[in-house]
Structure 1
Amino acid sequence: MFTSTFTFAKGQYDDAFHALDAVIAGVARAIPGYLGEEAWENAETGLISNVYYWDSMEALQALMQHPEHIRAKQLQARWLKGYQVVIAQVVRTYGDQGIPHPLAATS
C-alpha cells in the first residue's frame, strides 16, 4: 500500500478551483486501487494535508499521469501559496477499530 500526501497553503479559491478540485477528486476515487482519503488542517500553520491511500504504486501513478491531474499541477499557483507532495509506502497499520479509517480493513 502507498500514500500520497498533498500539503498546501491556501490562496484565493474561485469557481474554477472548486470545479477542478471536484474533477480531480472524482478521478482519484474512480481509479482501481484507490482505498480512501483523509484531510487535515494544522490550525497553527494554516496548512492543509490531503492523504490518499492506494493499494499499489500503479494505482497512484494512474492519478499522477491523468490529464486533469497534470492540468491541476500546471495551474496550482493561481490558487495556492505553495505545496509539497510526499509519496510513502505503508509498512504497517494498526488500531483498536474505534475510529473509521481507510486502511482499517487492511489492519
Structure 2
Amino acid sequence: MLFANTPNPPYYAVIFTSQRNEKDDDGYHSMADLMVELASKQPGFLGIESTRDENGLGITVSYWDSIESIQQWKENHFHMGAQEKGKKDWYSSYKTRICKVERDYTNSI
C-alpha cells in the first residue's frame, strides 16, 4: 500500500466508507480513477488512500488542507455527477466523515 504524502498537521481527512451493491461494474472503476485524477488537481488536495475488500466494503481517505477545499471538491460539477451515480447505481450504503488531523507519525518496519 502506498501512503499519501501528507504535510505536518494540522490538515483534514475525508473518510468515505461504502458498501458496493451486487450490480456489475457499470463504469465504477473508470469513474473512481477519474475522480482521483480530478481531485488531485483541486486546490488544497494533499493525497488519497483507498482499499476495498472482496465483499465490496471500501474505505477511501482523502486529505485536504482546509474545510473550504473539501467543500469546493464536494461542489465540483463532475464530482457531484459521480456522487449521484454512486447513490443510484453503485452503493447500497455509504457514510462520509470529516476529521481534523492534529497529529500523525510514521513507523517503517
Question: Any unmatched runs of 5+ in structure 1?
Answer: 100-107
Question: Any unmatched runs of 5+ in structure 2?
Answer: 1-10
Could you say what secondary structure the match of 1:30 adopts? coil
- State the AA in 2 paired with 1:9: Q
Q: How many residues align?
A: 96
Q: Quote the Cα distance in structure 1 between the aligned partners of 2:53 and 2:104.
A: 23
Q: Quote the Cα distance in structure 2 between the aligned partners of 1:87 and 1:79.
A: 22
Q: Quote the Cα distance in structure 2 between the aligned partners of 1:95 and 1:35.
A: 17
Q: CA deviation at 1:30?
A: 0.6
Q: Quote the Cα distance in structure 2 between the aligned partners of 1:79 and 1:46.
A: 10
Query: What TM-score does the superposition give when structure 2 sets the normalisation length?
Result: 0.75
Query: Which residue number in structure 1 is paired with residue 89 of structure 2?
Result: 78
Per-residue CA shift, 1:56-91, capped at 9, x if unaligned?
Answer: 112211210101111122121211111111111111
Q: Quote the Cα distance in structure 2 between the aligned partners of 1:42 and 1:78.
A: 19
Query: Which residue number in structure 2 is paired with residue 67 of structure 1?
Result: 77
Query: Which residue number in structure 2 is paired with residue 14 of structure 1?
Result: 26
Which residues in structure 2 correspond to 1:19-58 (within 5 Å)? 19-41=30-52, 46-58=56-68
Query: In percent, how many aligned pairs have the same letter?
Result: 29
Q: Quote the Cα distance in structure 2 between the aligned partners of 1:37 and 1:20.
A: 15
